[in-house]
Amino acid sequence: MDNLVTRRFSKADTIDTIEKEMRKCFTIPDEKETRLWNKYMSNTFEPLNKPDSTVQDAGLYQGQVLVIEQKNDDGTWPRGSSTPKSPGASHFSTLPKISPSSLSNNYNSFNNRNVKNSNYSIPSYSSYNNYDYQEQGRHNELPGLCGLCNLGNTCFMNSAVQCLSNTPPLTEYFLNDKYQEELNMDNPLGMRGEIAKAYADLIKQIWSGKFNYITPRAFKTQVGRFAPQFSGYQQQDSQELLAFLLDGLHEDLNRIRKKPYIQLKDTEGRPDKVVAEEAWEIHLKRNDSIIVDIFHGLFKSTLVCPVCCKVSVTFDPFCYLTIPLPMKKERTLEVYLVRLDPLTKPMQYKLVVPKVGYLSDLCAALSTLSGVPADRMIVTDIYNHRFHRIFATDENLSSIMERDDIYVFEMAINRSEDTDHVIIPVYQREKYRQSGYNHSGSPLFGQPFLITVPRVISEDKFYNMLLLRMCRYVQTTTENDEAEETPRCCKDRGVNGNSSNGVHEEGSPSEMETDEQDDESSQDQELPSENDNSQSEGSVGGDNDLENGIGADQKSKGQQQLVGHKKRLFTFQFNNLGNTDFNYIKEETRQIRFDDRQHRLDERSYLSLDWEPGLKKIYFDDNAAEDFEKHESMEYKPQKKVFVKLKDCIELFTTKEKLGIEDPWYCPNCKQHQQATKKLDLWSLPPVLVVHVKRFSYSRYMRDKLDTLVDFPISDLDMSEFLINPNAGPCRYDLIAVSNHYGGMGGGHYTAFAKSKDDDKWYYFDDSSVSTASEEQIVSKAAYVLFYQRQDTISGTGYFALDREAEKGASAAAGAPAESDEDLNENDNDEHDVENENCMHTN
């Protein structure tokens, strides 16, 4: 195709409108017979043979390429017969291979223009130079070994369909057109038979034996009509589609035309057998379809009230089992402990904490290893040089992700009991020359920390407390400082030259000023000496030693450092994005006073230490600030369980559990909701047992996929140990299909393994590709949905009515000539050169 034309169409435009526009674009005479094809891939086309269908109903999407084909003068079509006779063939087509030389048609080239004023705008594709079709009518392929094209993140649908396609009793039902007798067009819970008919068309194409692969666009369109969550091209869950499809097929094929209302009876101590039979009869009076025949079983649900011991027993039908994976009850977390002693490096610990626990459990585990009291700890998450979160002790551990940098600070006070002090988050900022009030000129650096201070403290004392807290990585004396030491310390102006006291209020203009102020302004903003205030404060003294864990030795060292430095290294500013919890009082005494209310510790309210780049380079040691030590617990390596058995998962499914706080049960005796205990037991199992392995876990803060290897049997799965019904009958199963999911949450790729009912061999279905597989490949970490068929229901046992009919037919037809394949072959045609064919983009 040498030229492509782009046009815009509305979603409400019909296929007939598009065809008329294409005729006009390519100057095709009105008397010339044409037909339209929807081009998906280089070798896959779908006929658009419903003129009244809209763009939306036809499932046309942005960038879709349409091809118009003109009938040859001899009455034949360049691509063979119009449409195969199969009821589903009107929706799918793989076309004969065409030589590139046949594409030398006369295309009309013209400028792009809008056909309609529409929002349905589609960017044009690049031109295709040739076709590459798979040959039609290759009967050496076994029926059922037909791939499904990926229409754009539709591998989840392809995987689920291939598993259902290889469920023999369901496929035989559709191939023998039994569904047409049972279509329920009036069921208000159904889809007017549309889902059943679309699925039947799809199955017939898959099992025609004619195609290597087909394009299930019509089926996807019908699914999207009734389940909007599947209408787009986002990745979805194969199990969720499977659940919708089974339910949709059931309602479309429900033999009950009018569902009666039936009042459920209480068990009243009656035997389980009586109650179970009654529940199943009630179910069949309202729900009777091929899906019920094949997939529905019955389980017993027992609820016990923890207050009055009321026991509630119900028997409920199920279509598939969702089994949980045994999860570890513990997890490991790596955290850093920052001690009160400012000279001690942070230490990294590896903690073993409950998987479903609280921050208090983390503090208790860290306390055991470190000796620091748990009530003197504050847990934080540091990201990008700031506190991303400051946790409360009653928060869930699930809020901490594996990648988070968790720092735990030892505090001198219990913040829930001490009201005379406040705990302040402190950030480091580097100032740059700038104009205006743009905060982006002050990037953060280093590690933030927490500091405890009294509610009223002098400015100088506060400065010294900050300096002493950072004495491990902030030098307060240099050789130049010692050489330049003079008695003028009382009149030394601030190093930044823009603050009288080094303290700014939020949003004050002085924060934004540069250090290029005039002399008069600078002289008006003199810094006090360290000894100007009520204390003789060469360092943090008196009551503040306790708050920051400073011993006598450290205090002495800190005093020596601080006394030697007469200029301030940084200014500081309070930043509060919430309520005003602290205020700076500009008085003669230069006191910092926090209000009387309990200070709310919050990552949004903090103190920033603003450094000039030159001073930061001289006095701040980045390497020392980032340095830490490792505790011996970091050597601990938890053992990973290699795999779990399928029976372990089923046993976990039947284990008694307590309902969560958010999911209580209403007790009819207590007349209120209670956290009852719940137990599920299997009463009867269906001919085809669908087992959904619950690999995806969700919480408020975390979404995760469990890649645990589940070891499941390929054949002879014995479910008798899980059935509480002594008269359940045979319960041995063989695997027939597996839906796989590779990758993580929100993406990945779906494939399927399935066992052909015709040759009893395993095959791997990966979208349009089908290949042979061995049993050794099937059990993997990707296994997501398992399909098992009961051994007493396989073909030849006569369990299903269709199977019995087939046996009778085979007996009656013994010695008769085999049925002709003429009907199967009559749609096959010799290859033709393509002529009079043009291509257009829908836009």
> Would you name the residues annotated as active-site residues?
155, 749
Q: Measure the CA–CA gap between 598 and 685, rounded to whole angstroms.
A: 61
Distance CA 333, CA 319 (A): 40
Token pair in block for residue 127:
């031109």
Written in H, E and C, the secondary structure of 490-540 is HHCECCCCCCCCCEECCCCHHHCCCCCCCHHHHHCCECCCCCCCCCCCCCC
- The backbone torsions φ and ψ at residue 292, rounded to the nearest 5 degrees and listed phi first, read -65, -40
**What are the counts of helices (DSSP H) followed by strands (DSSP E) for the chain?**
21, 39
Phi/psi at 255 (nearest 5 deg)?
-75, -15
If DSSP codes are grouped into helix, strand and coil, which group holds residue 213?
strand
Tokens linked to 643: 């795999």
> To the nearest 10°, the Cα dihedral for 264, 265, 266, 268?
-160
Beta bridge partners of 323: 693
3-state secondary structure of 25: helix
Cα 131 from Cα 133, distance rounded (Å):
6
CA-to-CA separations, 670 to 308, 317, 657, in angstroms, rounded: 7, 28, 20
Q: What are the Cα distances from residue 711, in Å, to 150, 649, 736?
A: 29, 10, 16
Residue type at position 77: W
User: Cβ(712)–Cβ(778) under 8 Å?
Assistant: no
The angle at the Cα of 644, spanning 643 to 648, to the nearest 5 degrees, equals 175
**Residues 6 or more apart whose Cβ sits within 8 Å of residue 589:** 458, 533, 534
Cα 342 versus chain centre, distance? 43
Q: For residue 651, give the 3-state DSSP assignment.
A: helix
Answer for the pair 738, 693: CB distance below 8 angstroms, yes or no. no
Q: What is the dihedral of CA 336, 339, 345, 346, to 10 degrees?
A: 0
Pairing of strands 330-338, 421-430: unpaired
Give me the half-sphere count of Cα atoms (radius 13 Å) on the Cβ side of residue 658. Answer: 5
Return d(Cα 166, Cα 176) in angstroms, integer: 15
Residue 600: which residues within 8 A CB-CB, separation 6 or more?
578, 579, 581
Q: Considering only CA atoms, which of 212, 230, 294 is closest in space to residue 41? A: 212
SS3 of residue 395 by DSSP: coil
Determine phi and psi for 123, rounding to 5 degrees.
Answer: -70, 145
- Residue 397 is classified by DSSP as G
Distances (CA, A) of 518 to 457, 503, 523: 31, 20, 9
Return the closest-CA partner of residue 397 out of 447, 442, 332: 332
